[in-house]
Amino acid sequence: MENKTKEFKHLEKWQKTLANCIRCGYCYEHCPMFKYTGWESDAPRAKIITAFGLLSGEVEPSESVSQKMFSCFYCKRCEAACSSGVALTDIFTDAKKDLVEMDLKGPGTTSTTKLTCARCLICLKACPHEARSYDGKNIVVDPVKCQACGICIEVCPAGAATIQNSFGTDRNMLMDRASNFFSTHEAAKAIIFACNWSYYPDLQASVLPDAETRDKNYEILVNMCGGRLEPQLLMAPFLYNAWGVMAAVCPEDKCDHKGNVRAKKTIESLKNTFKSIDIDPERVRLVEIKAGDKAKFKAEIDTFMDNLNKMGPIR
């Protein structure tokens, strides 16, 4: 490997690890980026090959390389699937540090702030990664620290916090999908929100058209993190006469973004609202599913749907 490492002082330490990637490709089929775009250049394996190329000098640092390297949700599904134990996201982070020092800052999935920002600083407190700060005039986002969890987007009262490409996880897109499900499925009863971390394996099934049947009575909508389950999104299905809404998040100690804690509080608050207006609070339910536990996820859905069938529609 040609030594150009002086330009990549953070990435340099991964030189040997990068060579451990055997290009098996187990990682990319688990990556929500790849699922969404279908481009292998958006997949984790491509990022590792790019990092390798940056170190060897075969790949020139450029805006397009930076754009790809910064396009990651840090869901770590690639790491869970990797056959060689490569610490992919740590490598991406160090590549990002080097690129930032070359003034190449993505933005990829780094959150940004629009001019409509009211400087309320709510997003600063909400960011689980201390990626947002206030320089006295504007909100500044640290592109290395930002892990694209999207929590700032959901808490921003001015709609100013945003991510350049949400890769299908945008709140409005999910609300449109919920609306579309209820308008096209006569038997529609519920929406199941599933955090990409806690429940990945059926993401593909949830987006492929051939998985659709008109007599489906629930739809699984995959969001990037439980922390993005704000009341507006959770309540949207009830506008379309949903019987209930369930949300699957990671177990308490397993969420890097503490999104599950936020989701728990939001659901508790919705339950209290339901109680106060004489609606059974069990129509909103939160379940904890550890990464990839498909059997538990299915069992929880079955229990939830059984309960909804006993309750019937909201009158």
* Binding residues vs ligand SF4 (CB under 6 A): 30-33, 44, 72-78, 88-89, 111, 113, 117-123, 127, 129, 131-132, 139, 141, 146-152, 156, 158, 160-161
Residue 226, classified by CB atoms within 10 Å of its CB into exposed (0-12), middle (13-18) or buried (19+), is buried
Q: Write down the least CB distance from residue 124 to ligand SF4, Å.
A: 7
Q: Which is nearer to ligand SF4, 123 or 308 (CB)?
A: 123
Q: Which is nearer to ligand SF4, 5 or 113 (CB)?
A: 113
Q: Which is nearer to ligand SF4, 86 or 308 (CB)?
A: 86
Q: Write down the least CB distance from residue 171 to ligand SF4, Å.
A: 13
Q: Which is nearer to ligand SF4, 108 or 237 (CB)?
A: 108
What is the Cα–Cα distance from 37 to 117, expressed in whole angstroms? 30
∠ CA 43-45-46, rounded to 5°: 70
Neighbours of 208 (CB within 10 A): 11
Two tokens, residue 3: 């030594």
Q: Which is nearer to ligand SF4, 161 or 308 (CB)?
A: 161
Q: Write down the least CB distance from residue 16 to ligand SF4, Å.
A: 20
Q: Write down the least CB distance from residue 286 to ligand SF4, Å.
A: 21
What is the Cα–Cα distance from 153 to 141, expressed in whole angstroms? 13
Question: By three-state DSSP, how is residue 154 classified?
Answer: helix
What is the Cα–Cα distance from 303 to 288, expressed in whole angstroms? 14
Q: Write down the least CB distance from residue 120 to ligand SF4, Å.
A: 4
Return the C-alpha torsion angle 294, 296, 300, 301, nearest 10.
20
Q: Write down the least CB distance from residue 210 to ligand SF4, Å.
A: 24
What is the Cα–Cα distance from 111 to 116, expressed in whole angstroms? 15
Q: Which is nearer to ligand SF4, 282 or 293 (CB)?
A: 293
Neighbours of 152 (CB within 10 A): 30
Two tokens, residue 46: 């491509």
Q: Write down the least CB distance from residue 63 to ligand SF4, Å.
A: 19
Q: Which is nearer to ligand SF4, 151 or 301 (CB)?
A: 151
Q: Which is nearer to ligand SF4, 158 or 235 (CB)?
A: 158
Q: How many CA atoms lie within 13 A of 100 on its CB side?
A: 18
- Please, which residues have CB within 8 angstroms of residue 75's CB and are 6 or more apart in sequence? 31, 32, 196, 197, 200, 224
Contact 285, 274 (CB under 8 A): no
